[in-house]
Amino acid sequence: IQKQELLYEGKAKKVYKTTDPDLYWVEYKDDATAFDGKKKGTIMNKGILNNKISTHFFNLLESKGIPTHLVKQVNDREQIVKAAKIIMVEVVVRNIAAGSLSKRIGLPEGTMLPRTVLEFYYKDDALGDPLINEYHIYALNLATPEQVQTISSIALQVNDILREYLKDKKIDLIDFKLEFGIHKGEVILADEISPDTCRFWDVETKEKLDKDRFRRDLGNVEEAYREVLRRLTGESI
């Protein structure tokens, strides 16, 4: 398989076509953005770290029966994935209040949620990715009721798997964002799972090991991402 022309460039990744029409080639970049692209920066080696971290999580999820787009990691910054059509909905799962949920409903950051919260956001830069509900998904024709059912079920399963796995690594999974795609008629997990897309807090110290360090100018951003990789795989880069 060979990498061909650039198909799409996002904030954190580039997606290329390949010689196989069924596969894409993904390259992880060091670029970081926050607040709808209003804050821009670079996190050194983020592309390498997120590629390795996301590959690790996707392999874990595949081993537990979750269908994903990952085919294989090809090198430090790149992976080959199934050519899925992305559903334009971001699915956020929350175990502990933080970020926009704390802002929206007034629960202080760190408040344990009595039940897992599932949210949908419309992937639309011009609109600033607004919070939507299931009815809006149908109004916009973004997915069918059956697909929303599947997406919700997979998202909650991913939460159970990752929470338990991360507990062992002394990391609390506060919240995270997933994206899904359709491949050969099947809903599969797509995009990435990394410190860019999750909130990870150290179980003991509650130290943030995720992109909030960049968003809130807390410093030691690269170090936090490296610490996550080290806890997951033992690898130090």
Query: Which residues of the chain form contacts with ligand C5P (CB under 6 A)?
Result: 90, 92, 98-101, 129, 175-177, 197-199, 211
Instruction: Provide, rounded to whole angstroms, the least separation between the CB of residue 31 and ligand C5P.
Output: 14
Closest to ligand C5P by CB, 18 vs 225, is 225
Residue 8 corresponds to which tokens in the numbers above?
A: 């799409």
Instruction: Provide, rounded to whole angstroms, the least separation between the CB of residue 35 and ligand C5P.
Output: 9
Instruction: Provide, rounded to whole angstroms, the least separation between the CB of residue 3 and ligand C5P.
Output: 26
Burial bucket for residue 118 (CB in 10 Å: 0-12, 13-18, 19+): middle
Q: How many CA atoms lie within 13 A of 18 on its CB side?
A: 19
Taking the C-alpha atoms of residue 10 and residue 59, their distance in angstroms, rounded to an integer, is 23
Closest to ligand C5P by CB, 18 vs 97, is 97
Instruction: Provide, rounded to whole angstroms, the least separation between the CB of residue 235 and ligand C5P.
Output: 23
Residue 172 corresponds to which tokens in the numbers above?
A: 């609390």
* CA-to-CA dists, residue 1 to 9, 72, 184, angstroms: 20, 12, 20
**Short-list 96, 92, 94, CA closest to 117:** 94
Closest to ligand C5P by CB, 74 vs 161, is 161
Instruction: Provide, rounded to whole angstroms, the least separation between the CB of residue 145 and ligand C5P.
Output: 24
Closest to ligand C5P by CB, 18 vs 227, is 227
DSSP H or E stretch at residue 174:
strand 171-183
Closest to ligand C5P by CB, 18 vs 190, is 190
Closest to ligand C5P by CB, 177 vs 231, is 177
Instruction: Provide, rounded to whole angstroms, the least separation between the CB of residue 113 and ligand C5P.
Output: 12
Q: Which residues, 6+ apart, have CB-to-CB distance to 84 below 8 Å? A: 69, 180, 181, 182, 183, 188, 190
